[in-house]
Amino acid sequence: MTLLRIGALPDPLVAPVLVVAFDGWVDAAGASSAAAEHLADAGSLVVTFDDDVLFDYRSRRPTLDIIDGTLHRLQWPSLQIHHRAIGGRDLLILHGPEPDFRWKQLGDAVGEFCLRVGVVQWISLGAIPAAVPHTRPVPVLATASRDGLLHESETKGPEGLLRVPSAALSSIELPVSEMGVPTVGFYAQVPHYVGGPYAAASVSLLRHLARHLGVELPIEELERDEEAQRQRLDAAVAADEDVQEILQRLEQTTEEELPSGDELAAEIERFLRGQADQS
């Protein structure tokens, strides 16, 4: 079974890099998928997938547009690869919802695609919830399939064994690495209490990607979103002393037990409900 269909690719590709992010597991606040979508938006579609065998439409239903009482259009979940040339480099961006089925076959198919088009590196983008404050730069952890792939400024970790439920992202990355394609991953840490989009994490991921590749990426729009979100979070914290206290504890680098994300989220939600009641 052919899981992917390759369209018109530039010939030749210049040191192509495959950047991958899925909307789903390991995508806290949608930060990594937003970063990938931002990259792909100005690119050209070069690869499509057999989405019918990859997705459970009852868990991720297509979107139906109804206009004036008439069924108009279905928007199906889909995986895609877009091409974009930036700074003399060819970027291939694999993005879309995390697939439900055929992860093993998908890993083999994507690996064969990488070998066919000469991908020189796979780069995963992800985001994980963490006990970090929004008032500090977004921490980013890195992974690498071998030593020497990361720059000195990129923090690899955590050390030791970490056993977690795997995302489709990792289940596809690993066989690609075993086929000989070098792989790295960047994972932004998102404050537990951020429930919606968090542009700061998307910006941090793209800045790490840009430094890693030695190119400049256009992120001005995301930076504006980052500033607007920061102002809203700052306003929520400034208006509530309890929230300020918990945030200060998060900012401290002591050995005291940190508050949980649920505690801080509950405080901010309480503040926001109070604001709504007063309006």
Pairing of strands 17-23, 121-130: parallel
Rounded-to-integer distance, Cα 175 and Cα 225, Å: 36
Q: 4-219 in CATH: which number? A: 3.40.50.10900
Q: Are 248 and 224 in contact (CB under 8 A)?
A: no
Instruction: List, for residues 11-46, the tens digit of each pLDDT value.
Output: 899 899 999 999 999 999 999 999 999 999 989 999
Instruction: Give domain limits for the chain.
Output: 4-219, 239-278
Residue 48: partners with Cβ closer than 8 Å, 6 or more residues away: 4, 5, 7, 78, 79, 80
pLDDT at 254: 38
Closest CA to 175 of 99, 101, 115, 96: 115
Q: Position 177: which residue type?
A: S
Whole-prediction pTM = 0.88
Q: Which residues of the chain have pLDDT under 50?
A: 254-256
